[in-house]
Amino acid sequence: MGIQYRKFDPTEYVMKVKKGKVVQQGLGLSFFCNTMTESMMVIPATAFDTSFAFNDIMTADFQCVSVQGDISYVITDYEKAAQMVDFSYKDKKEYALVLAEARQKMAKRIINLAKVHVAKLVSGKSVREAIVSADELAGTLKAGMKNDRTIQTFGLELISVSILGVLAQADTRKALEAATREEILKQQDDAIYKRRNAAIEQERIVRENELNTEIKVAEKTKEKREKEMEMKRLVQVKQAELDARKLADDIRLEEENCKLVDLQTENEKKKSDAKAYDSEAILKTFANVDKDVVKALVTSGMDSRALIARAFVEIGDKADKIGVLNVSPDLLESLTNA
């Protein structure tokens, strides 16, 4: 008792009180104090962690789930915290008990507040939705508690809220596992059916494309044949035109030839008539002339061979009057060579 020297850590916020008033305060103070007239409150400036496990939270479909998590918080308003919780300091041994009781009191208030918010959030979800909503639950819980009046009254500030798990009861888990297993199997079957249907659909598309290709090929082949036939028809028409022109030219040529033949025939006839006229005139001229004179005129222009031939002709004409006529080869040769 009496005057004592006190020295505190930097993580401790110290408030020196005399006659009910704070005369000195701050982090990590060191001073002399009179234990008879002065008292102290030491508030931790470090963060605290508290865990919770709620086993009777009811979902919207009347199923109980357990929610486990952690909450980290720190004291930011030391005066409010000192008013709401006992942080009196006498010595280290006694202060340890005081601090443990203070932390327990703050943790209880925070846990109760967290349970209220968790129950409110989970009550609006089915058991399936609740067990997969850990992250959503943590974010919503932190936002709801951060602005809560109780937290502000105690001078606290939340640092983090973590939901470690949302678990259904054993029977419910089995039922959910069975239902989920059936759903997975159904999804597997649906996936198989979808793959089969997709394969059938792909096969149909391929087959349809093949048929469309065949139809297009047939159409192109038809168009090609039609064009070939049209070309042949045009060629035939052109050939017919050429043949008609050639035939017309041949007919015209034959007509010209016919005219030429007629003209030639007419000319030959005229020539024949002229020759006949000349012959007739000559015959008329020699009609009254003695034949011996004519013979003399004819033979006068003949050579020796012609005359010999003429003589043999006359001998032949008078053969009945000639008895025997011998003509030796030598004589015949000499006559022909004369």
Structural domain of 321: 290-337
Q: Is residue 161 part of a domain?
A: yes
Express each pLDDT in 285-307 by its tens digit.
555 555 555 555 555 555 656 65
* Any domain includes 60: yes
Assigned domain for 250 exists: no
Specify the residue for token string 């013979």. 295
The torsion angles phi and psi of 56, rounded to 5 degrees, stand at: -130, 40
Whether the CB-CB separation of 44 and 75 falls below 8 Å is answered with: yes
Q: Contact, 59 vs 126, CB < 8 A?
A: yes
In a domain, 265, yes or no: no
Where residue 121 sits, what CATH number does that domain have?
A: 3.30.479.30
- Residue 15 is assigned to a structural domain of this protein: no
Kind and range of the H or E run holding 208: helix 170-286
Choose the final residue of a domain: 139, 168, 197.
168
> In terms of C-beta distances under 8 Å and separation of at least 24 residues, what long-range contacts does 77-82 make, across chains too?
77/155, 78/13, 78/15, 78/25, 78/43, 78/155, 79/15, 79/22, 79/155, 80/152, 80/153, 80/154, 80/155, 81/43, 81/154, 81/155, 81/156, 82/15, 82/41, 82/43
Tokens of 235: 């060629």
In a domain, 328, yes or no: yes
CA 103/CA 97 separation, integer angstroms: 10
CA distance 32 to 40: 11
In this prediction, residue 13 carries a pLDDT of 93
Inside any domain, residue 316: yes
Q: What is the pLDDT of residue 291?
A: 57
- The answer to whether residue 299 sits within a structural domain is yes
pLDDT score of 71? 93
Cα–chain center distance at 141: 49
Q: pTM score, two decimals? A: 0.52
Domain final residue, candidates 168, 185, 220: 168
Boundary (domain end) residue, out of 168, 200, 224: 168
Number of domains within the chain: 2
**For the chain, which residues score pLDDT lower than 50?**
none
